[in-house]
């Protein structure tokens, strides 16, 4: 039950031809690495709370560097957010979002919700009224807050969790990304928990929405809840606002002049993030453990993982701002 129209819609989005002038390109003296600087104009102004500025920040290796200060709102401005939870088990795929499981993308339509006990081989799943077919889901900001957290109570067992954009309309976040990416001595692992040292966020889309860590689907499912993503791979919680867990091709992208995959954002170290497949539908075969490689046009850059893997990139090639 994959969405057949998901990638067709992406072709209708506005794309740009990426161009780099001499000021955007540098060769680092320490590593000799060909580097393409971050281009702040690539970020959509509609997603910014204030203009992008430059500040000196400490990087993860203890050095200091100029970084772009990017203050964003918590919502996507270049595509529709939602829907997430269908209303009735008779609803088709247009009334719900998607779910990521086992490397695949599934429609969260009424049929998916109806068959969750079979899908997960657990008869505890029963997220709808057997008489009316109405699906049990959150409907207020309070219910969103209580159901969309790791310690959800039993009262929200068998709930579809849907948090709405209006709940986080006033939320903003500030991110710092190095103007010139700096290669790290070894790949930097992403943080996973309060005692970790690496960043949790993977990067930023051009609309200012964060590419987040993998969704904790095992925790969500263990509470017998479902927190679908919309067709763009995003959903909402009250702390993060709207955020992505997968790249599905619906965000603003920068088309390349060759057949290379389109650019969709920047990682937290300043290296570019590109779609998984090139214009011929092929995936690069020489990606490193971080899901990156180098060419003479883009320097080092990443390619996102398949959407069904609930993942973007595996680690950072460069230093990030603290």
> Domains in the chain: how many in total?
2
- Both 71 and 120 in one domain: the answer is no
In a domain, 7, yes or no: no
In a domain, 53, yes or no: yes
Backbone angles phi, psi at 118, to 5 degrees: -75, -45
In a domain, 240, yes or no: no
Q: Which domain holds residue 273?
A: 15-78+169-214+246-318
- Both 74 and 203 in one domain: the answer is yes
- Both 45 and 67 in one domain: the answer is yes
| H or E element, residue 301 | strand 299-303
- Both 143 and 180 in one domain: the answer is no
CA distances from 257 to 9, 18, 19, 272, 292 (A): 21, 7, 9, 16, 20
- Both 257 and 309 in one domain: the answer is yes
- Both 145 and 41 in one domain: the answer is no
- Both 150 and 281 in one domain: the answer is no
- Both 222 and 275 in one domain: the answer is no
- Both 259 and 134 in one domain: the answer is no
In a domain, 157, yes or no: yes
In a domain, 84, yes or no: no
In a domain, 86, yes or no: no
Residuewise pLDDT in 10s, the chain (322 residues): 455 444 333 433 444 444 445 457 665 545 678 999 999 999 999 999 999 999 999 999 999 999 999 999 999 999 999 999 999 999 999 999 999 999 999 999 999 999 999 999 999 999 999 999 999 999 999 999 999 988 899 999 999 999 999 999 999 999 999 999 999 999 999 997 666 678 999 999 999 999 999 999 999 999 999 999 999 999 999 999 999 999 999 999 999 999 999 999 999 999 999 999 999 999 999 999 999 999 999 999 999 999 999 999 999 999 999 9
Contact criterion met (CB below 8 Å) for 212 and 242: no
Contact criterion met (CB below 8 Å) for 262 and 254: yes
In a domain, 314, yes or no: yes
- Both 191 and 264 in one domain: the answer is yes
In a domain, 202, yes or no: yes
């Amino acid at each position: 039950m994959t969405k057949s129209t998901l990638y067709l819609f992406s072709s209708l989005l506005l794309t740009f031809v990426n161009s780099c002038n001499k000021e955007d390109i540098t060769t680092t003296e320490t590593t000799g690495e060909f580097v393409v600087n971050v281009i702040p104009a690539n970020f959509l102004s509609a997603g910014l709370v204030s203009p992008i500025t430059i500040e000196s920040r400490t990087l993860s290796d203890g050095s200091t560097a100029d970084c772009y200060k990017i203050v964003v709102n918590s919502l996507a401005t270049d595509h529709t957010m939602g829907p997430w939870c269908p209303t009735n088990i008779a609803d088709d795929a247009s009334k719900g979002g998607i779910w990521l499981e086992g490397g695949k993308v599934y429609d969260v339509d009424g049929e998916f919700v109806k068959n969750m006990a079979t899908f997960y081989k657990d008869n505890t799943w029963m997220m709808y009224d057997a008489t009316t077919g109405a699906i049990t889901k959150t409907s207020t900001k309070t219910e969103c807050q209580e159901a969309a957290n790791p310690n959800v109570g039993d009262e929200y067992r068998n709930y579809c969790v849907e948090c709405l954009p209006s709940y986080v309309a006033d939320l903003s976040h500030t991110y710092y990304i190095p103007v010139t990416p700096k290669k790290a001595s070894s790949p930097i692992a992403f943080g996973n928990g309060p005692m970790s040292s690496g960043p949790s966020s993977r990067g930023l889309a051009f609309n200012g929405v964060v590419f987040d860590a993998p969704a904790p689907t095992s925790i969500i499912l263990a509470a017998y809840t479902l927190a679908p993503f919309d067709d763009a791979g995003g959903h909402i919680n009250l702390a993060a606002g709207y955020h992505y867990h997968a790249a599905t091709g619906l965000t603003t992208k920068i088309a390349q002049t060759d057949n290379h995959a389109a650019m969709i954002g920047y990682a937290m170290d300043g290296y570019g993030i590109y779609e998984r497949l090139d214009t011929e539908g092929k995936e690069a075969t020489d990606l490193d453990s971080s899901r990156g490689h180098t060419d003479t046009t883009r320097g080092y850059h990443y390619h996102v993982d398949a959407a069904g893997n609930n993942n973007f990139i595996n680690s950072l090639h460069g230093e990030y701002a603290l």
